[in-house]
Amino acid sequence: MTRITALTMTAVFLSTTTAFAASQTPLEDPMKSGMWDYHQENLLGDPAVISFDDRVIVRGPAEAEDTVNVPLLVDATAFEDVEEIVISADYGPIPHILTYYPGEAEAKISLRFKIDQATAIRASVRTADGAWHVGSTYIDAAGGGCTAPAAAYANADWYDKLGEIHGQIWPASGRARMVVDHPMDTGLAGDIPVFIIEKLNIQNDAGETLAHLELKEPVNEDPAFTLYFDPATMPAALHVDGRDNNGNEIEGLLTASETH
């Protein structure tokens, strides 16, 4: 009968631990950000299924000229099975910008957001196998975008326009552009509480959801989005509905322009 001593058990444990550690490939952040490890765990979860991937394209200005309206393009169309795109700012006071579920749309989106300081911007793309593929860019900024009060309050009729949707679609190119009137208060400006759109659904005439957006505080005032579809299957009209965190309903229709 083999006698297992405490020393033997310790040796086995250390050997197993060493082998496990050797099998793991630590992520090397191309942005060298001190906040990435923290955010990837809180936003994405298991690091064993996360990798930095140049196929996820993230494009923004090298320097933010307007910190409350920073343009960003995320393109993950190199993947055929994208289920979710999480966009975040490493050094944002509220890191999570939005989550996009492309559904029947292409895995590509243009948006604008608020930035508070120079930071790495991430697009984390989850494919059907559960793996996360992360693209990054760096945007320099003077700061203050997330703490600025909404400009809408300078207009006496801002509430009358709340939730109105403007935009159109271009079926030939598979592109849809929409702007929603809303102050998108972050809760970080003075005594103004959080007041944001939480969800936007894009549907066809049959009421089927084609794409879905979950917005967070850093999305810009009067949120503007461009979504992309296959021109061969893009509907002649897109219905948009959603709600904000105060229960206000949002509803509108995007149709093709008579001029292109």
Q: Residue 11: is its pLDDT beyond 90?
A: no
79, two tokens: 């993947």
Which of the four pLDDT bands, split at 50, 70 and 90, describes residue 26?
Answer: low
At residue 256, φ and ψ (nearest 5 deg) are -75, 145
Q: Residue 12: is its pLDDT beyond 80?
A: no
- d(Cα 45, Cα 22) in Å, to the nearest integer? 21
Work out the widest C-alpha separation in the chain, in whole angstroms. Answer: 88
**DSSP secondary structure letter of residue 252:** E
CB contact at 8 A, 35 and 90: yes
Q: Residue 8: is its pLDDT beyond 70?
A: no
Whole-number Cα distances in Å, 223 to 86, 120, 141, 226: 17, 21, 20, 10
- d(Cα 130, Cα 7) in Å, to the nearest integer? 40
Query: Which positions ≥6 away from 115 have C-beta within 8 Å?
Result: 64, 67, 70, 89, 92, 139, 141, 143, 145, 146, 218
Give the burial class of 61: count Cβ atoms within 10 A of its Cβ; 0-12 exposed, 13-18 middle, 19 or more buried: middle
Q: What's the pLDDT tens digit per position in 203-212?
A: 999 999 999 9
Which pLDDT value is given to residue 14? 42
Burial of 137-171, coded b for 16+ CB within 10 Å and e otherwise, reads: bbbebeeebbbbbbebeeeeeeeeebbebebbbbb
Q: What's the pLDDT tens digit per position in 155-175?
A: 878 888 999 999 999 999 999
CB contact at 8 A, 246 and 161: no
